[in-house]
């Protein structure tokens, strides 16, 4: 309509302020949507980290701690558990499968996990998806074989047959290396979007072999050393592991098995239900996540207040414009409408530019974020929720625009046709 044409032409006449205002709105919209998208994706990928596992068992500590080190490879176990405890439950008739986990070493910042082949058969993530090999095979009888997570292989450019040396401890820069016993890459897993991608998997025998000549946390020297060849011939049954995962034949038994493990007499153990612990952990993080959302809402509000200020300041110097419009027949509501249209145009430009910024940002950062944070940010159309947020921003802008509109309406009633120089 003609009023819109006048509003746009008037804005174009003040294009510098108008562009800045729209840019401020664009940045705030982009921030809000980015936070929203990261939030949604983080929650989704978080919930799909582990599935199909009924119980996770470790040394007695906190359930969140156990979940963090056994599933997310964050933090450390307070204590190990004995191999025979694992054996006791792995052979329980109610247990369908058991996966032992042994942690504590790393390779260039990525955690190493000692486990059994049961891991490749029974571990599930997402919607009950099994791990799949992209190349090669699972580790077999030789203790010095390693299967890489997708991200490890990609980031460190390892392919099948490569040799690598594990480091003792989990610091990114480790001074003590197991360089006398190199491992051979025999398999690479497909990408899962979970911490599995960032893990190197070796057999429990391999884990035992690299520590076989260690005593009290330090490697043996001189004659005490045992070479890889010698180790191959030795009994590599571990005495202790860090944790284990259980799948039960009957889900109904979960609680009774859990209680039984928690009351195990031989050793203090803790069994957790992964779903419950995930919930607990997420509720810890959701406070921060909600705070982030609220902050970005306030940034949007700031952007809109910037727009309000820009329009309000322009009003005084535009009294002449209003008087001219009145003299050619614009009624006061036209003047008010003009300013609401102006706010609408600024907000629309801001929202569109904000979306453009968001998509440009995602397109640029997608690979980096996935590699570093394991978060997949899709280049998808805005979800219904995001549309409703954008709609809300637009409506808020219109409401804000009605403030200067009302002032201009009053002003043009009072000024009439008289022109103030």
Q: Strand 183-189 and strand 133-136: pairing?
A: antiparallel
Q: Does 316 bind other proteins (CB under 8 A)?
A: no
Q: Does 331 bind other proteins (CB under 8 A)?
A: yes
Interface residue with other proteins, options 325, 345, 355, 408 (CB under 8 A):
325
Contact 260, 50 (CB under 8 A): no
Q: What angle do CA 63, 239, 262 make, to 5 degrees?
A: 30
Q: How far apart (Å, rounded) are the C-alpha atoms in residues 389 and 240?
A: 52
Q: Does 324 bind other proteins (CB under 8 A)?
A: yes
Interface residue with other proteins, options 328, 368, 379, 384 (CB under 8 A):
328
Contact 96, 52 (CB under 8 A): no
Q: Does 295 bind other proteins (CB under 8 A)?
A: no
Smallest distance from other proteins to CB 320, Å: 6
- Identify the residue whose tokens are 């998208």: 37
Q: Does 16 bind other proteins (CB under 8 A)?
A: no
Interface residue with other proteins, options 332, 366, 369, 396 (CB under 8 A):
332
Smallest distance from other proteins to CB 349, Å: 17
- Segment lying near other proteins (by CB under 8 A), choices 9-17, 156-164, 206-214, 349-357: 9-17
Q: What angle do CA 242, 243, 246 make, to 5 degrees?
A: 160
Smallest distance from other proteins to CB 283, Å: 55
Q: Does 388 bind other proteins (CB under 8 A)?
A: no
Q: How far apart (Å, rounded) are the C-alpha atoms in residues 232 and 201?
A: 18
What is the DSSP annotation of 99-165?
Answer: EEEEEEEEETTEEEEEE-THHHHH-EETTTEEP-EEEE----SSTTEEEE-HHHHHHHT--TT-EE-
Q: How far apart (Å, rounded) are the C-alpha atoms in residues 418 and 421?
A: 10
Q: Which two tokens stand for residue 347?
A: 């907000």
Give the count of residues interacting with other proteins (CB under 8 A): 23
Segment 406-409 long-range contacts (CB within 8 Å, at least 24 positions apart): 406/336, 407/312, 407/315, 408/315, 408/322, 408/335, 408/336, 408/338, 408/339, 409/332, 409/333, 409/335, 409/336
Interface residue with other proteins, options 20, 134, 276, 417 (CB under 8 A):
417
Q: Does 419 bind other proteins (CB under 8 A)?
A: yes
- Segment lying near other proteins (by CB under 8 A), choices 208-216, 318-326, 352-360, 385-393: 318-326
**Between 1 and 379, whose beta carbon lies closer to other proteins?**
1
Roughly what angle, to the nearest 10 degrees, separates helices 319-327 and 384-415?
Answer: 80
Q: Does 130 bind other proteins (CB under 8 A)?
A: no
Q: Does 420 bind other proteins (CB under 8 A)?
A: no
Q: Does 2 bind other proteins (CB under 8 A)?
A: yes
Q: Does 12 bind other proteins (CB under 8 A)?
A: yes
Q: Does 22 bind other proteins (CB under 8 A)?
A: no
Interface residue with other proteins, options 94, 334, 352, 365 (CB under 8 A):
334
User: Phi/psi at 330 (nearest 5 deg)?
Assistant: -70, 130
- Segment lying near other proteins (by CB under 8 A), choices 4-12, 48-56, 90-98, 165-173: 4-12
Q: How far apart (Å, rounded) are the C-alpha atoms in residues 211 and 181?
A: 10
Q: Does 320 bind other proteins (CB under 8 A)?
A: yes
Q: Does 330 bind other proteins (CB under 8 A)?
A: yes
- Segment lying near other proteins (by CB under 8 A), choices 8-16, 47-55, 291-299, 369-377: 8-16
**Between 122 and 318, whose beta carbon lies closer to other proteins?**
318
**Between 301 and 315, whose beta carbon lies closer to other proteins?**
315
Binding site for other proteins (CB under 8 A): 2, 5-6, 9-10, 12-13, 320-321, 324-332, 334, 416-419
């Amino acid at each position: 309509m003609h009023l819109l044409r006048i509003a746009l032409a008037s804005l174009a006449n003040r294009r510098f302020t108008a562009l800045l205002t729209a840019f401020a709105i664009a940045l705030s919209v982009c921030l809000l949507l980015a936070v929203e998208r990261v939030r949604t994706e983080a929650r989704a990928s978080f919930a799909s980290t582990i599935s199909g596992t009924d119980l996770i068992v470790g040394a007695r500590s906190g359930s969140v701690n156990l979940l963090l080190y056994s599933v997310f490879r964050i933090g450390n176990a307070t204590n190990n558990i004995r191999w025979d405890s694992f054996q006791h439950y792995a052979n329980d008739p109610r247990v369908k499968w058991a996966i032992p986990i042994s942690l504590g070493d790393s390779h260039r910042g990525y955690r190493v996990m000692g486990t059994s082949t049961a891991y490749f058969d029974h571990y599930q993530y997402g919607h009950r998806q099994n791990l799949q090999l992209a190349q090669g095979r699972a580790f077999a009888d030789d203790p010095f074989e390693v299967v890489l997570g997708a991200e490890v292989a990609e980031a460190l450019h390892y392919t099948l047959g490569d040799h690598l040396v594990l480091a003792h401890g989990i610091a990114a820069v480790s001074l003590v290396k197991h360089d006398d016993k190199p491992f051979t890459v025999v398999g690479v897993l497909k990408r899962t979007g979970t911490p599995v991608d960032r893990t190197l998997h070796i057999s429990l025998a391999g884990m035992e072999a690299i520590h076989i000549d260690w005593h009290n946390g330090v490697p043996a020297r001189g004659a005490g050393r045992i070479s890889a060849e010698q180790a191959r011939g030795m009994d590599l049954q571990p005495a202790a592991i860090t944790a284990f995962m259980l799948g039960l034949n009957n889900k109904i038994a979960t609680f009774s098995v859990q209680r039984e493990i928690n009351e195990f007499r031989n050793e203090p153990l803790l069994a957790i239900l992964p779903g419950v612990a995930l919930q607990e952990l997420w509720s810890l993080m959701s406070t921060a996540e909600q705070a982030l959302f609220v902050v970005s809402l306030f940034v949007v509000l700031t952007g809109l207040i910037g727009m309000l200020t820009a329009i309000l300041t322009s009003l005084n110097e535009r009294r002449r414009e209003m008087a001219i419009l009145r003299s050619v027949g614009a009624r006061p509501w036209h003047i008010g409408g003009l300013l609401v249209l102006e706010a609408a145009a600024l907000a629309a430009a801001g929202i569109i530019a904000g979306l453009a910024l968001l998509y440009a940002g995602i397109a640029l950062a997608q690979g980096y974020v996935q590699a570093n944070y394991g978060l997949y940010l899709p280049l998808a159309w805005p979800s219904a929720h995001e549309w409703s947020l954008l709609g809300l921003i637009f409506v808020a802008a219109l409401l804000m625009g009605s403030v200067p509109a009302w002032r201009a309406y009053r002003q043009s009633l009072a000024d009439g046709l008289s022109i103030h120089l």
